[in-house]
Amino acid sequence: MEMTEHIYQQLDPDGVNRPSLDKHEETDTGPWKRAAVCLGLLCALLLSAIALLSFRMMETKQLQTSYKEKLQMQSGYDNMTIEYQQLQVTYNNLKTENSQLQTSYSNLSRDNSQLQDNYNNLNREKSQLQTSYNNLNKEKYQLETSYNNLNREKSQLETSYNNLTKEKSQLQDKFHTMAAEKDKLQERLCNLSECPELVVSFHT
């Protein structure tokens, strides 16, 4: 403090200490300098606050953008998950339908095989009946020949003829029964949508 006063003091020729004009000027400009320094500090603080606020706003904007992108990605993932589940359900349904169709096809194949076996059996029985019928015709011819040649055995031959006629009638009834069964099988085959081809097979 003494050194400062010494600087701003000036001696006159008489040896009396007097305040100099420089000290007066320094006293007048001191508050303005301090105010300027404070104002500069406030400006610096304000600029720092503005920069920090701008950085925070940019960071918040980036966070909002990232959050929106995350929401969009989450929504896309949820949509893809729903589509995947729907595709899985569709695949399971198709797999079930395929299994059902395979089962139906196997059942139809088995039924077709059974009908084919029945058809073969009917053809075989028809052939046997035709052979029996031919044999009966042959026997009838032989009986008629024997009847003409053997008048003495006429009564016996007539009895035999009547018996053969009865057997023929029974065979005819059996034949009609088999024909009715054949018609029923034909109707069943028509219901299986294979009627035209199998009708031709039955007639042949």
> Bridge-partner residues for 11, per DSSP?
17
d(CA 107, CA 99): 12
pLDDT at 196: 52
Q: What is the biggest distance separating any 2 CA atoms in the chain, rounded to whole angstroms?
A: 207
Q: What is the DSSP string of 53-66?
A: HHHHHHHHHHHHHH
pLDDT at 50: 92
pLDDT at 20: 46
Q: What are phi and psi of 19, to 5 degrees?
A: -65, 135
Q: Who contacts 157 (Cβ-Cβ below 8 Å, separation ≥6)?
A: 143, 146, 147, 150
Residue boundaries of the structural domains of the chain: 107-204
pLDDT per residue rounded down to tens, the chain (204 residues): 444 444 444 444 444 444 444 444 445 567 888 888 999 899 999 999 999 999 999 989 899 998 888 888 888 888 899 999 999 999 999 999 999 999 999 999 999 899 999 999 988 999 999 899 899 888 888 877 777 777 776 777 677 788 889 888 999 998 999 999 888 888 888 888 555 554 445 445
pLDDT at 170: 92
Supply the pTM of this predicted model.
0.33
d(CA 102, CA 99): 5
d(CA 17, CA 14): 9
76-84: long-range contacts, CB 8 A cutoff, minimum separation 24: none
d(CA 201, CA 118): 13
Between the alpha carbon of residue 193 and those of residues 22, 67, 121, 132, 197, the distances in Å are 128, 63, 22, 35, 9
If one counts every other C-beta atom within 10 angstroms of the C-beta of residue 198, the result is 19
Of the candidates 108, 115, 107, 109, the residue with the CA atom closest to the CA atom of residue 184: 115
pLDDT at 197: 53
